[in-house]
């Protein structure tokens, strides 16, 4: 499974993981082995970049299964 999806599931489902990420985003993303593109998308917070990094379009089922 793509590591960005796994990473977002982890920090969204566990408030402790989210707090750890907020305290030190770089370290948390390194631990999750995110690519440079994924890290940039996460830090930007921009919907379009996150959708591209996750490889889906929000206006259709796309690749979401």
Partner 1 sequence: MKRRSRRGSLTIVGLGIEAITHVTLQARGCIEQADKVLYYVADPVSAQWIRSVNPKAESLTRFYSTKKRRRVTYSQAVDEIFGFLRKGFAVCAAFYGHPGVFCSPGHAAMRRARREGVPARMLPAISSLDCLFADLGVDPGAEGCQSFDATDFLLHDRRFDPKSPLILLQPALIGERTLPLEPCNREGLKILTKALRRHYPGSHKVVVYEAAQFVVGKPGILKVRLEALPRARVTPVSMLYVPPKARPTANRGMLKRLIRLSAGSGVQGKRKAGPSSR
Candidates 12, 26, 30, 37; binder of partner 1 (CB under 8 A) is: 12
By CB under 8 A, residue 39 contacts partner 1: no
**Cβ neighbour number for residue 41 with a 10 Å cutoff:** 21
Phi, psi of 5 (to 5 degrees): -60, -50
By CB under 8 A, residue 47 contacts partner 1: yes
In angstroms, what is the minimal distance from the CB of 49 to partner 1? 9
In angstroms, what is the minimal distance from the CB of 10 to partner 1? 10
- 1-17 burial: b if 16+ Cβ within 10 Å, else e: eeebeebbebbeeeeeb
Q: Which is nearer to partner 1, 23 or 59 (CB)?
A: 59
């Amino acid at each position: 499974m793509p590591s960005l999806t796994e990473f977002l599931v982890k920090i969204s489902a566990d408030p402790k993981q989210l707090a750890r990420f907020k305290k030190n985003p770089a370290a948390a993303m390194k631990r999750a082995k995110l690519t440079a593109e994924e890290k940039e998308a996460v830090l930007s917070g921009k919907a379009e970049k996150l959708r591209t990094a996750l490889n889906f379009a929000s206006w259709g089922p796309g690749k979401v299964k």
